[in-house]
Structure formats: C-alpha cells, structure tokens
Copies of this chain bind each other. A is one copy, B any other.
Amino acid sequence: MITAPSRDPLEFQPHAEREHGLMLRLPALVHHAQTAPGWARILQGVNAHQVNTRDALSRLPVTRKGDLKALQDASLAAGKGPFGGLNTTQVAQLARLFMSPGPVYDPEGRGEDWWRVSRALRAAGARTGDVIHNCFSYHLTPGAWMIEGGARALGCPVIPAGSGQTEQQVQAIAALRPRIYTGTPSFLKLILDKAQETGADVSSLQLALVGGEACPPSLEAWLHEHGVSGVFQWYGTADIGMIGYQSARPSDPQRANPGLLIDEDLIVEIVRPGTGDVVAPGEVGEVVVTSFNADYPLVRFGTGDMSAVFAEPSPCGRTNLRIKGWMGRADQTTKVRGMFVHPGQVDLVVRRFPEVARARLVVEGELANDNMTLRCELRGGAVPADGLKESIADAIRDLTKLRGDVSFVAAGSLPNDGKVIEDARKYE
C-alpha cells in the first residue's frame, strides 16, 4: 500500500538554499544537455562549468517554443529523430511519444512522475486514495499523462475519462464517486451543467485541479456555487510539464492562494519578448524555463507565455517564487504593409542606442494604410540628444525595411504588459 507524504520539505526550505542548490546543479545540466546534438549546436562554445549563476545563465541563448518546429523538421529530414536533437535519451528508451498541434513532437521518459504534477495535486489537497476523474485528453497530446504520473506517485486511482462524452462522464462520476476533477475549467462546467440537467448526483466532486486554459474569477465562483469547493490552477506546457501550481490558504484550505508557485526542479526567468534579457521583478515578460529533466533537458526554453513575478512570499509557507497566471502569448510577430515585424527586430533597434531603456512599437491605422511608431523611454528620463530621433528611424528602416516614426515618452509610462509590439489597428 502506497501512502505518499502530504508535504515535501523541499517546498518549505529557505529560498536561498533552493537557489544555491539549483545553481550547483546548473553546470551538470548544461554539460548533460550538450551531449545531445541539438543542444551541442545551440550551446556551442559554452563552458558548462562556468554556468553556475543566474547571470551566467541569462547570457545563454533562449530557445523558443516557436523554434521547435523548424528544429524538429530539420532533424526529421536528416533522419535524426523527431525531437530536434534536444533529447538526451534515445527514442527506444522513452516511455511515450506525443504529437501536439503544430505539429510539435514531445517525449515522455520512464521516470516516476516525469511531468512533476504530484506537487500540484498535493498542494491542492489531494491525498493517497482519492479518486481522480481526469478529463484532459489522453490521445496524442500529453496533458492527461501529466496527471497520470502525479496520480500514480501519490497513489490516487484515476478514471481516465478524457474529453467529450459528457453524458457518460456524468454517469461514471455518479457511480465511481471521484473526489477530484482534473481538466479544463470550462469542461468541468459542462459536466456540472449536464448533471443538473439529468439529475445525476455528482456531489462527490469536491476539488478541481484545472489547467490548459485561463480560469477567470467568474468561472471559479460559478464552480464554487455548484459544489466544487476547491478550485486550484496549475500551469504547464507539453515540453516542460508542470511549471506553476496553486496552494491552499492556511485560513481556508478549500481556497487557493493567488499566484502560481514555481516547481522545485525548474529555474524560471521572465524575459523581454524577443530577447534573452531578464526584466525587472514584477515586469511582465515571457516565461523562460530551464528544466533539469534527465531525458529532455531544456536550457532557457522560451514558452511563448507571458507572466510576471509575484513578489510576496506565499502565505502557505512555501518559499519558492510565485508568478502571476497566464497573461497572454509573447509572440507578437505582426505584419505591417505586408512585411513581418518580429519583437527580435525591435530589440535589435533598441540595442543600437544604449540611451534607450525600453521601447514599444505601436502599429496604428487600418490594414493596408497602417503606420508604426517606436515609443521610447530614455534611461534616467534623459532629454533626447539632437538627431537621436532620426538615427532611430534610420535603424528601424534598416532592420525592418519599413518606415517608422519615433516618439519619446516619460520614463515608466509604457504599460507593464510585456508587449514589445502593440497592434492597435482597427480590424472592423
């Protein structure tokens, strides 16, 4: 009989100890990653021994979710496997292979709780023996498998329900009486609606660990009103597994603390979209993850998701950093007069002018009659030097092949939403 402990002391260690431990593990991770041909190329010339601080890490290139398809296509075309050469474990030694929309291929290794979801289940209040009704899909994509791994480690029986077949799901819940729902919050609403319609008793469902989409406060409140007293969010991706999770409030264990605690086996950075530059604490940017996974190590993997560090420590006593929830997608690539403009191009413009602290390219007007302006904050609120505006405009034309205006705004006046490119065009 399995009885999993109800808490992991790692989550409660002083943050400095965690940080020290992660930094100690970094050189070995980089070294291990470099044994895979894909990472060997990306991290060419990097001395793994020297990557032992956040600062050293922040100088390594960011490999973005959006880059994976090209890496994988090249690797497949060369007959070198589906994972772009980023896997350190050979395909034959893996547990499962997935295909996510794109298509992008993802591996699962054989280690216990490979996606690290047991931590999220436990923090939400799941205990050994609790039955889980798992409504993520098991087919082709890894969502459901993340829950499977966590449930197995915790000793929770699973109803592998998948998505769809709402009526049968309600029937299964009424008979098998799971305590925990896992899946998207909107599908849980569908289930509760269907149960109300058919009169089925689904009151066994008390706790929901929801993910895969945002869970707005209105939906959370609706779920509470309909009998699911605890609604906890987790955030993960098909490449990394669990990244962040909510914990219960000490004062009310059926309610979640705001923000998402970072998993213990990851290093998370928030960077300016299109760059590898870490933003100031609290500023919105792209979630970049370094994962110590033994089969599929990731060194500065750009998720394409936006979030921000949440400064205060969690009232539950867990000491790791928290991030805000999902705040949109980082990929702000847009088309202006038929030409693609990437956040990386904006960054290249800014880099030419050390006096520019932050910038935001705003595209306005209507399609086919649009114009773009680079709004710049100067360091220390300085007054722009003569000719700076024209020099920046030249750089824009040089790097984007498009004409753009330049304006200077007060330091701190650009919105904190992580946007490097803002598309403010009218589409109606």
User: With A103-B171, A171-B99, A175-B105 given, is the CB distance from A160 to B131 under 8 Å?
Assistant: no
A side interface size, CB within 8 A: 42
Across the interface, which residues of B come within 8 angstroms of A140, CB to CB? 159-162, 165, 168-169, 172
Knowing that A138-B138, A139-B162 are A-B contacts, what are 12 other residue pairs whose CB atoms are under 8 Å apart, sorted by A's residue number? A82-B175, A82-B176, A92-B129, A94-B157, A95-B158, A96-B159, A97-B131, A97-B176, A103-B175, A140-B159, A140-B160, A145-B160
B contact residues around A99 at 8 Å (CB): 159, 168, 171-172, 175-176
In the assembled complex, A76 has its CB within 8 A of some CB on chain B: yes
Q: How far is the CA of A361 from the CA of B198 in the complex (A)?
A: 42
- The oligomer's copy count stands at 2
Residues of B within 8 A of A76 (CB): 175
Q: Once the chains bind, are B159 and A97 in contact (CB under 8 Å)?
A: yes
B159 with A92: CB separation less than 8 A: no
Identify which of residues 129-171 in chain A touch chain B, using a CB-to-CB cut-off of 8 Å: 129-131, 137-140, 144-145, 152, 155, 157-162, 164-165, 168-169, 171
Q: How far is the CA of A164 from the CA of B76 in the complex (A)?
A: 25
Which residues does chain B contribute within 8 Å of A161, judged by CB atoms? 139-140
Q: Let me know if A367 is at the binding interface, CB within 8 A.
A: no
Residue of A137, A139, A162, A175 contacting most chain B CB atoms (<10 Å): A139
Give the residue name and chain of the B residue nearest to A79 (CB): B177
The reply to whether B93 and A158 contact each other, CB–CB distance below 8 Å, is no
Cβ of A95: which chain B residues have Cβ within 8 Å of it? Answer: 152, 157-158
Q: Beyond A129-B93, A171-B99, is A160–B176 a contact (Cβ under 8 Å)?
A: no
Residue A91 contacts which of B96, B157, B165 (CB distance < 8 angstroms)? B157
Q: How far is the CA of A427 from the CA of B305 in the complex (A)?
A: 61
Q: Does A98 contact B (CB under 8 A)?
A: yes
How far apart are A2's CB and chain B's nearest CB, in angstroms? 8
Q: Mark A205-239, 1 if CB is under 8 A from B, else 0.
A: 00000000000000000000000000000000000
Residue of B nearest to A101 (CB): B168
What 1/0 mask marks residues of chain A from 43 to 68 whose CB sits below 8 Å from any chain B CB? 00000000000000000000000000
Tell yes or no: A1 within 8 A of B by CB: yes
Contacts A97-B131, A97-B157 given; does A162 touch B138 at CB 8 Å? yes
Bound Cα distance A238, B92 (Å): 29
Residues of B within 8 A of A176 (CB): 82, 91, 97, 99, 105
Which parts of A91-127 form the interface with B (CB within 8 Å)?
91-99, 103, 105, 110
Residues of chain B within 8 A (CB-CB) of A157 are: 91-97
Docked-complex contact A164 and B152, CB < 8 angstroms: no
- Tell me the smallest distance from the CB of A166 to a CB of chain B, in Å: 12
**Residues in B whose Cβ lies below 8 Å from that of A139:** 137-139, 160-162, 164-165
* A72 CB to nearest chain B CB (Å): 8
A165 to B139, CA, bound (A): 9
Task: Kindly identify, within residues 4 to 38 of chain A, every residue whose CB is under 8 Å from any CB belonging to chain B.
Answer: none
Quick check: A1 and B93 within 8 Å, CB to CB? yes
Write out the residue numbers on chain B whose beta carbons fall within 8 Å of the beta carbon of A168.
99, 103, 140
